[in-house]
């Protein structure tokens, strides 16, 4: 592969292997980055570019990277040749999502964040070309430092066959040794019929018994070698190859017509394992569900808006014996259904929100949706033709909702967000408003929230924040008890309907407050050591005393055929576990919708949301909290295990389900409690683990694999599922969703999925019916 490198004032093509740290390179559209690069400039306005990181994390959503404003001008080779600066940065490491460094240009120190770093293995999209400087090359790049020795998964049959061959070989060797020693001992000239008088061959010469023993040993090995069934290996490998090439790869039920991609068996040595699978571990988002987010409902100022009915609500009604008709013809004239938005409520659509009891709260709610994000618009600046490039489908859905509510975000500059606001006044006129973005406090898995500090055209300073309910509630100002209580009830209602929720809040700032805080923020952003930690600490100083506006509810629909297939798998004796990061209410309702549990299923629930644990949390002693949770988990596991055994002996046909959250699971995985956890889990027909981390997914999979000594299979669709897929006997990675290109097997080879050599990669959207057919066919 070649890349354009700046030589003098011209671009010269050069092979990747000749790149050196400090080279200035030009990357064209759809090309891969040859090294870890510092993004300098782009042909796009405002120094932005779009990249695809599927080779790193399996995500096909385009990510946005923004160059430092100081380097925007270095697009042409004549200008790029004038670039002179010094980069101070961390040593090469394997952390894909962090980078600490400074760029010194014209005696000015500018902090570098991961937003300016382009990693090897990613590719450039929707951008004519970019100019960047090489930071790390070769084996010092982050993706190469993430590579590891590829583990080999071997089937149970293959292991047993190896043991059999070793046993036969030991038998052969024993027989040959006994025969050879016996020949050396009993050979004698008195056995005249052997013709041992006269000149005798060394093998039959009684005068040299050692030579007789050695030569007879080789003779017996040759004679008895047919004990070792060499042809058995060849026959088995031929059968496996035919199964993969003719059955799995050509199975029409595993073909995805929309993306024109069949199933692809990456290995043939796990075929027979599919027919012996007894435990399936599955992720939820993108695996059981489609990962196509749509804004469905919301709560503003203590009032719920949105009249739609989710699939999970329909399933719950059917379980209760109530039939619900969700006819599209019954939707109101204001209903809108487009990508990222599926909402119907005449009270707030098309400016009707102005007549609601809380119009100011509605306005702040819509502004927060339109301003607090990192989305970039693309295409014509009209509501019908614009498209949004977002790091996650959730964020794109929220911006699409703001557009349909009359707050149309259509342009972004490095310091400004342009919003076309309509229906704000009684006349319903439109006005373009420029909000100056002063600071962006980005979302991460630790913070679980995102904030922006913006300045209104009239000079007013406002902090908008959106994040998980527990994180936002901890930072609300005193008072507003009624709306906090009502919104919490609404959140529980949305969770029961299987919706993904976020809370929105804001805070007015004075200029003195902001200036004092911004000085600390700039210092933290320029720090070379523990930058992320210091930024989080500074963010805590301003993300407080918030005023709750409301909450959003986004629907992620189930994949087609999931409930029917799970029922079929259960009938085949396969136990299914769902390991998800969602809240317990959402996970339980997804389990109902997937037919993992029903009204007749006896549920054993271990949750950290109990009165005893809440009382300990109110006292605030971390040691006491840990002790209370551990004791609660210990008692629950012991009592549930006894109850499950009684239920199994009295009514063996009744299904049992075990549900636990990640906080309790952390203590349940303790060596002292692990035996009870495993015992209860193996008795139950289905298990749901909520709010679990990627590490906990792998720990649970390993616990069952080693404890139950049964064949396990893991299914996931993202980087957070890699450890779980690796821990199981058989791993299935699912690539793509509607409208996305399937990720080719070769793409995984240089990425985090590199070590999943035994991955059975199923392209396109996932239907559990496919796995069902494979498992039952091999059975």
Q: What is the pLDDT of residue 152?
A: 63
- pLDDT of 478 reads 83
So what's the pLDDT on residue 737? 35
Q: Considering only 222-231, 471-480, 710-719, which range has the smallest mean pLDDT?
A: 710-719
Hey, which of 19-28, 45-54, 107-116 has the most confident mean pLDDT?
19-28
What pLDDT, in 10s, does the model give residues 421-453? Answer: 987 776 667 889 999 999 888 887 678 889 999
Residues at the binding site for Mg(2+) are 283, 285, 717, 721
Residue at token pair 């000079």: 459
Average pLDDT over residues 335-359: 87
36 is catalytic: no
CA distance 117 to 444: 17
In this structure, of 585-589, 697-701, 749-753, the range with the lowest mean pLDDT score is 749-753
Instruction: Fill in the DSSP letter of residue 349.
Output: G
- Return the pLDDT at 546: 92
Q: What is the DSSP string of 134-171?
A: EEE-GGGSHHHHT--PPP----HHHHHHHHHHHHHHHH
Mean of per-residue pLDDT scores for the chain: 81
* Mean pLDDT to the nearest integer, 260-265: 78
Domains, the chain:
2-145 (2.70.150.10), 156-228 (no CATH), 293-555 (3.40.1110.10), 602-684 (no CATH)
90 token code pair: 């961390």
Annotated binding site for ATP: 283-285, 395, 443, 466, 500, 580-582, 691, 697, 720-721
Q: Tell me, what's the pLDDT at 315?
A: 64
Cα angle 92, 96, 100 (rounded to 5 degrees) comes to 55
Q: Lowest-confidence range among 57-61, 134-138, 155-159, 614-618?
A: 57-61
Query: What is residue 247's three-state secondary structure?
Result: helix
Q: Do residues 256 and 765 touch, judged by C-beta distance below 8 A?
A: yes
Between 617 and 301, the more confident residue is 301
User: What whole-number distance in Å separates Cα of residue 100 and Cα of residue 111?
Assistant: 8
- Give the pLDDT band (50/70/90) at residue 673: very high
- CA-CA distance, 416 to 408, in Å (whole number)? 14
More confident residue, 665 or 389: 665
Residue 746 has pLDDT above 70, yes or no: no
Please tell me the least confidently modeled range out of 305-309, 455-459, 583-587, 678-682.
583-587
Provide CB contacts within 8 A for 663, sequence distance 6+. 608, 629, 691
Least confident residue range of 54-68, 589-603, 672-686, 695-709: 54-68
**263-265 β-sheet, strand order:** 263-265, 759-762, 730-734, 711-716, 277-282, 575-579, 686-690, 656-661, 602-606
- The phi and psi torsions of 85 (rounded to 5 degrees) equal -160, 175
Give me the half-sphere count of Cα atoms (radius 13 Å) on the Cβ side of residue 229. Answer: 12
Q: Which helix (H) or strand (E) holds 125?
A: strand 123-125
pLDDT for res 756:
29
Q: Which of 290-294, 425-429, 522-526, 632-636 has the lowest mean pLDDT?
A: 425-429
Please tell me the distance from the alpha carbon of residue 67 to that of residue 44, in angstroms, as a whole number. Answer: 11
Q: Is the pLDDT of residue 58 over 60?
A: no
The more confidently predicted of residues 427 and 655 is 655
Place 697 in a pLDDT band, splitting at 50, 70 and 90: confident
Top pLDDT among 505 and 209 is at 505
Average pLDDT over residues 227-237: 84
The pLDDT score that the predictor gives to residue 740 is: 25
Residue 165 token pair: 């061959």
What torsion, rounded to 10 degrees, do the Cα atoms 176, 177, 178, 183 define?
A: 90
How far, in Å, are 263, 410, 462, 755 from residue 732 at the CA level? 11, 40, 46, 13
Degrees to nearest 5, angle at CA 174 with 169 and 179: 125
| Closest C-alpha among 389, 394, 545 to residue 467 | 394
The residue among 604, 688, 664, 591 whose CA lies nearest residue 639 is: 604
pLDDT at 761: 35
Q: How far apart are CA 33 and CA 427, in angstroms?
A: 52
Give me the pLDDT at residue 464, please: 95
Residue by residue, DSSP assigns 693-723 as: -HHHHHHHHHHHHHHH--EEEEEE-SGGGHH
- 161-196 pLDDT per residue, tens: 889 989 999 999 999 999 999 988 887 765 656 666
Q: Which of 94-108, 125-139, 559-573 has the lowest mean pLDDT?
A: 559-573
pLDDT at 759: 35
**Location of structure tokens 């149309």:** 408
CA-CA distance, 604 to 607, in Å (whole number)?
A: 10
Query: Mean pLDDT throughout 381-404?
Result: 87
> What whole-number distance in Å separates Cα of residue 682 and Cα of residue 704?
8
pLDDT tens-digit map of 488-547 = 899 988 887 878 889 999 999 999 999 999 999 988 887 767 777 888 889 999 999 999
Active-site residue identified among 4, 23, 36, 283: 283
CA distances from 472 to 295, 465, 580, 605 (A): 20, 8, 22, 26
pTM, to two decimals: 0.63
Going by the annotation, the residues of the binding site are: 283-285, 395, 443, 466, 500, 580-582, 691, 697, 717, 720-721
CB 212 within 8 A of CB 183: yes
Residue 677 binned pLDDT confidence (cut-offs 50, 70, 90): very high
Burial of 39 per CB tally in 10 Å (0-12, 13-18, 19+): buried
Whether the predicted pLDDT of 3 surpasses 50: yes
pLDDT tier, 748 (very low <50, low <70, confident <90, very high otherwise) = very low
Percent of the chain past pLDDT 90, that is, above it, reads 30
Q: 347 with 356: CB under 8 angstroms?
A: yes
């Amino acid at each position: 592969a070649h890349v354009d490198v700046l030589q003098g004032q011209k671009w010269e093509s050069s092979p990747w292997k000749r790149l050196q740290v400090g080279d200035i390179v030009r990357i064209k559209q759809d090309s891969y980055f040859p090294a870890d690069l510092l993004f300098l400039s782009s042909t796009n306005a405002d120094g932005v570019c779009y990249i695809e990181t599927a080779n790193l994390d399996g995500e096909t959503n385009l990510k946005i990277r923004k160059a430092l404003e100081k380097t925007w001008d270095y697009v042409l080779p004549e200008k790029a040749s004038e670039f002179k600066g010094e980069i101070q940065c961390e040593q090469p490491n394997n952390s894909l999502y962090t980078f600490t460094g400074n760029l010194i240009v014209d005696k000015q120190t500018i902090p570098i964040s991961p937003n300016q770093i382009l990693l090897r293995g990613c590719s450039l999209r929707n951008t004519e070309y970019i100019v960047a400087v090489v930071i790390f090359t070769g084996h010092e790049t982050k993706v190469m430092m993430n590579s590891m020795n590829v583990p080999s998964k071997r089937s149970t049959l293959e292991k047993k066959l190896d043991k059999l061959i070793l046993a036969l070989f030991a038998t052969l060797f024993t027989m040959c040794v006994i025969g050879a020693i016996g020949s050396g001992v009993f050979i004698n000239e008195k056995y005249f019929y052997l013709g041992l008088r006269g000149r005798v061959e060394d093998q039959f010469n009684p005068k040299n018994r050692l030579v007789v023993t050695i030569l007879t040993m080789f003779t017996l090995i040759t004679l008895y070698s047919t004990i070792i069934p060499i042809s058995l290996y060849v026959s088995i490998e031929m059968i496996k190859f035919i199964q993969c090439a003719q059955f799995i790869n050509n199975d029409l039920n595993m073909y995805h017509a929309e993306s024109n991609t069949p199933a692809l068996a990456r290995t043939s040595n796990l075929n027979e394992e599919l027919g012996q699978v007894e435990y399936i571990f599955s992720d939820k988002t993108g695996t059981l569900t489609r990962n196509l987010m749509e804004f469905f409902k919301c709560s503003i100022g203590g009032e719920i808006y949105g009249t739609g009915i989710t699939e999970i609500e329909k399933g719950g009604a059917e379980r209760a014996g109530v039939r619900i008709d969700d006819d599209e013809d019954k939707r109101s004239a204001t209903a809108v259904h487009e990508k990222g938005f599926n909402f119907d409520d005449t009270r707030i659509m098309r400016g009707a929100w102005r007549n609601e009891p809380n119009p100011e709260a509605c306005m702040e709610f819509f502004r927060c949706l339109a301003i607090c994000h990192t989305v970039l618009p693309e295409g014509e600046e009209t509501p019908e033709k614009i498209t949004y490039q977002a790091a996650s489908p959730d964020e794109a859905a929220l911006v699409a909702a703001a557009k349909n509510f009359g707050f149309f975000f259509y342009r972004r500059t490095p310091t400004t967000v342009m919003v076309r606001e309509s229906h704000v006044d009684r006349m319903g006129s439109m006005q373009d408003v420029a909000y100056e973005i002063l600071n962006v406090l980005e979302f991460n898995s630790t913070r679980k929230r995102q904030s922006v500090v913006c300045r209104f055209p009239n000079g007013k300073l406002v902090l908008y924040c959106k994040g998980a309910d527990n994180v936002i509630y901890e930072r609300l100002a005193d008072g507003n008890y009624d709306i906090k209580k009502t919104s919490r009830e609404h959140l529980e209602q949305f969770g029961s309907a299987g919706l993904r929720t976020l809370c929105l809040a804001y805070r007015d700032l004075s200029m003195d407050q902001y200036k004092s805080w911004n000085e600390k923020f700039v210092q933290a952003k320029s720090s070379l050591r523990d930058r992320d930690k210091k930024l989080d600490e500074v963010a805590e100083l301003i993300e407080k005393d918030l005023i709750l506006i409301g909450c959003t509810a986004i629907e992620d629909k189930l994949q087609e055929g999931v409930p029917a297939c799970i029922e079929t798998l259960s009938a085949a004796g396969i136990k299914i576990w769902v390991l998800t990061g969602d809240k317990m209410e959402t996970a339980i309702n997804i389990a109902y919708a997937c037919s993992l549990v029903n009204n007749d299923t006896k549920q054993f629930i271990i949750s950290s949301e109990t009165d005893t644990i809440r009382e300990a949390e109110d006292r605030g002693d971390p040691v006491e909290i840990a002790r209370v949770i551990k004791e609660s988990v210990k008692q629950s596991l012991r009592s549930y295990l006894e109850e499950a055994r009684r239920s199994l002996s009295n009514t063996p046909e009744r299904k049992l389900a075990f549900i636990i959250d990640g906080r309790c699971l952390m203590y349940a995985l303790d060596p002292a409690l692990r035996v009870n956890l495993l015992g209860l889990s193996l008795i139950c027909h289905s298990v749901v683990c909520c709010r679990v981390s990627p590490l906990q997914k792998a720990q649970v999979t390993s616990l069952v694999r080693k404890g139950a000594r049964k064949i396990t299979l893991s299914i996931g669709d993202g980087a957070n599922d890699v450890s779980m897929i690796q821990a199981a006997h058989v791993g299935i990675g699912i690539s793509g969703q509607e409208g996305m290109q399937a990720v080719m097997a070769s793409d995984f080879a240089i990425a985090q999925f590199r070590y999943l050599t035994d991955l059975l990669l199923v392209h396109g959207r996932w239907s559990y019916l496919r796995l069902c057919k494979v498992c039952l066919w091999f059975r």
